[in-house]
Amino acid sequence: MQSQGLKPNQIGLAQAIFQGVSYVAPAADVAILLVITAGFAAGSTPLAVLFAWAVYFLFLNANYQFSKYTGSASGYYGYVAKSMGNRAGFITALWYVMFQFFSLAAFGLLGFATFLYYVSPSLEHIPYIWIAFVAVVAFFTFYLGYRGLRPSLNYSMISASIEIGFLIIMSLIIAIRAGPANTFSVFTLKPINGDFSLLFFAMIFSIPLFAGSGTVITLAEETRGSIRTIRRSIWISMLVLLAALLLPAYALTVGFGVPNMSSFSSFPDPGVIIFERYGGIAAGIILIVLTVNSYLSSNVSLMSSVSRVIYSLGRDGVLPESVTKMHPTHHSPYISVLLLEIGGIIIAIVPSLVYGPFEGALVLFSINIFALLFTHLLVNASLPIYVRKMRLKLNALSHIVLPALSIVAGSVIIYYSAMTSITEGNPITAAVIIGLAYVLFATIFGFAYGSMKPEKISEIGKFAVEET
């Protein structure tokens, strides 16, 4: 199947780094996801964040190793297809695309609307105003995606640099002013009385803090230096994110008070409250502005990566060829961008009509985390298979030990998250069951479809680029 093709050399290393960093949206994480994480991890919130970073760093070892040899817009599903075969690649695509659509809806659209409610509680008295917020941010994201990769990531790079600089400076100010409240206990289970199950359930919401940091792999075809630049950007972005999220998590915990963290999530936007407490009203206003922009830049980065995966599935013949159409001037897969935004809006609105935007976002997060985790588990499992299949030089640590550790860590998180959710009650319990059921359904459907119609997925994941 022929397509007009993605334009090479659109971005460089700096934009590639901030593809992942902007997707993570540190300021928005401080405003929303850290609040949710703290609802379970309480005074051990910094530990939950550090553990999530370590797990995700393990996950991304596979991205780094694969990007030494291959890469394309297919991203994760391309890795698996080249290692385990077409059916496994197709199953991975079903998992990954589902996760990204739900992530856009839960975080990018509903998270944005929820944050505006926090900033101005009076908005709750305007029925369905959140739908307007969702539509506005979706249109903004579509517009930048329509204009092309370079202007989109230039915007993300500049805005994220300002955002991270502010978060780090304010975190240091809070920690210094907190004085004797500083403590190492926040990096232990002591604040939650050694309850591992609470920590692992918090992982449902702390792992998405870093989700998307590996999406740069989908931009290999449009990046100068191609896969060489991609693999460099992976580890640099993870180091940037460690500072951008762990420091604020620590500062908010000691600034609010470790013994008080059990009530942290009950406050309307406690991040803004603490920033104002230690930095004055100006600090609170700046955080609000940067958080609004953080949601926008995160959506732009998500759109940049996921639209490429949709484009790739069209190029591979899995989706209609129309999704591969490129804008003649902006060189963007604009049909894929439009499909992503429409899908995100629909997914955001449906549960929110029942539960409201905040609860709706929690439901979607609880559903999609399992598709994310299983995608990473399968990619890591495929790495040693790829090395053997391509007769590459085996590195026991990078190709066997680290993937095995990531699979164990991911499996433990899945188990504890699923088990603990049973006690949460609906809608969270139902959402987790739906998330696991989708993973199972996609696996069965993908295997059956690939077996009955192998010609439909015969080209999946075959396209690849080399270093330039």
Q: Is residue 1 part of a domain?
A: no
**CA 167, CA 347: separation in Å to the nearest integer?**
31
Q: What are the residues whose beta carbons fall under 8 Å from the beta carbon of 161, sequence distance 6 or more? A: 18
Domain, as residue range, for 126: 13-457
**CA 163, CA 9: separation in Å to the nearest integer?**
27
pLDDT score recorded for residue 2: 42
Q: Is residue 137 part of a domain?
A: yes
Q: Return the structure tokens found at 358.
A: 């905040």
Q: Is residue 6 part of a domain?
A: no
**CA 348, CA 110: separation in Å to the nearest integer?**
6
Q: Is residue 117 part of a domain?
A: yes
Q: What is the CATH number of the domain that holds 232?
A: 1.20.1740.10
pLDDT score recorded for residue 410: 87
CA 99 from chain centre, in angstroms, equals 9
pLDDT score recorded for residue 1: 39
Q: pTM for this structure?
A: 0.90
Q: What are the residues whose beta carbons fall under 8 Å from the beta carbon of 433, sequence distance 6 or more? A: none
- Cis omega (within 30 of 0) on the bond before 320? no
pLDDT score recorded for residue 73: 95
pLDDT score recorded for residue 270: 86
Residue located via tokens 């401080």: 30
Q: Is residue 5 part of a domain?
A: no
Residue located via tokens 């994110």: 241
Q: Is residue 281 part of a domain?
A: yes
- Report pLDDT digits (tens) over 316-348: 999 999 999 999 998 999 999 999 999 999 999
- Report pLDDT digits (tens) over 204-221: 678 777 888 889 999 999
Q: If we measure between CA atoms, which residue out of 211, 19, 16, 203 comes closest to residue 100?
A: 211
Q: Is residue 464 part of a domain?
A: no
pLDDT score recorded for residue 468: 60
Q: Is residue 210 part of a domain?
A: yes
Total domain count for the chain? Answer: 1
Residues of the chain falling short of pLDDT 50:
1-3
**CA 397, CA 394: separation in Å to the nearest integer?**
9
**CA 302, CA 168: separation in Å to the nearest integer?**
24
